[in-house]
Structure 1
């Protein structure tokens, strides 16, 4: 008999075909509820105190529904954090390098200052110091997620003649640090309110720095 997360014993069909006998049909709405619950639990109690029981309770599902998808809280968190790397942000295209940076900073600032993100990211960073797997996943999510956007902004600026072509690998890495580092420092490490006009001033300063490469 095929079972689903919420309807044990109910026969289901996917794309017109009966699922194999005994297979568990993983409902997407349940999966999304669990993902949402994970981030909420991380923000509320932190990784060390987070439990599968707490996640299931917050998601309104049984523990079995969680274990059908992930075999431990470590694998659950690694999967969700790694997924952030491929989601990414759309590359801004305002017609100028400074405009692109300003829009990028506005979107990123809102994301980093979200109540959940502002709690989850520092907690996972602390846990990463003790867990190499979490460290690797977090680095991938935070760095590679921004790398594609930053590379796109640089490529557009080169095409418009705002930046020189042919940046070597070292300069490309420096450009990424210049574009991502200051805002991350203020929003995640310092964690204070951004001064009025800060994002615009940062975009102007970063534009000048990139043109100097």
Structure 2
């Protein structure tokens, strides 16, 4: 192991007494508190003090990691975006579309997501940075998944070679997002199956 030495070769250099060591469990608690606070009071009323209180930490612990609530939310949304969504590989276009809808429906029905996403969309009008982060979290990753699904379907001969992945994403996820996030209506039995069949039919006719 390489050790940085001081002028005395027999004495290893010690970390400065005031060096910041950010505990991962505290960081995770703060991030969880942000989601809960956004769902409870919204971005406009959310405060660093409220986040600290909900996380059970001192306000200083929050400010050591993020300078403002905007920076905190942007970091959180970017972290969610970086996790991405796994591309389904069921062996058929219908199976892939249905799997994608199943994952998306569970994510959008989560009580925190159903509160946080609409609120951040409103705030994105006033904060372009939030708009960019939301685009990355909600769109960029799914566009990549849609492209994988379309390429696989083209390779199997289920879709023509010129199928547009962006249009595929609109057809697959658009109705689901509208129903769960905008209209906030419960999904009736068999909705995901029917939507998957309709999306596949529309893609084949496109």
Offset at 1:18?
5.4
Give the gaps of 5 or more residues in structure 2.
1-12
- CA deviation profile, 1:95-151 (whole Å, cap 9, x unmatched): 111111111111110110111111101111111122211111111211112112111
Rg (Cα) greater in structure: 2
Paired position in structure 2 for 1:41: 37
- CA deviation profile, 1:181-202 (whole Å, cap 9, x unmatched): 1111111001111111111010
Paired position in structure 1 for 2:200: 207
* d(CA) in 1 for partners of 2:78, 2:68: 15
Offset at 1:38?
0.2
- CA deviation profile, 1:138-188 (whole Å, cap 9, x unmatched): 112111121121111112111211112244xxx332122112211111110
Give the gaps of 5 or more residues in structure 1.
1-16
With normalisation by structure 1, the TM-score equals 0.86
Paired position in structure 2 for 1:77: 73
Paired position in structure 2 for 1:124: 120
Paired position in structure 1 for 2:173: 180
* d(CA) in 1 for partners of 2:69, 2:28: 16
Offset at 1:91?
0.9
User: Please, which of 92, 95, 104 is the counterpart of residue 96 of structure 1?
Assistant: 92
Runs of 4+ in 1 over 2 A off after TM superposition: 17-22
Aligned residues: 194
Paired position in structure 1 for 2:160: 164
- CA deviation profile, 1:12-46 (whole Å, cap 9, x unmatched): xxxxx954442111111111000000000000000
**Do the aligned partners of 1:90 and 1:149 also contact (CA within 8 Å) in 2?**
yes
Task: State the secondary structure of the residue aligned to 2:160.
Answer: coil
Assess, with a 3 A threshold, how the Cα gap between structure 1 residues 18 and 149 changes in structure 2: closer, same or farther.
farther
With normalisation by structure 2, the TM-score equals 0.89
**Do the aligned partners of 2:33 and 2:54 also contact (CA within 8 Å) in 1?**
yes
Paired position in structure 1 for 2:9: none
> Considering only aligned residues, what root-mean-square deviation do their CA atoms show, in Å?
1.4
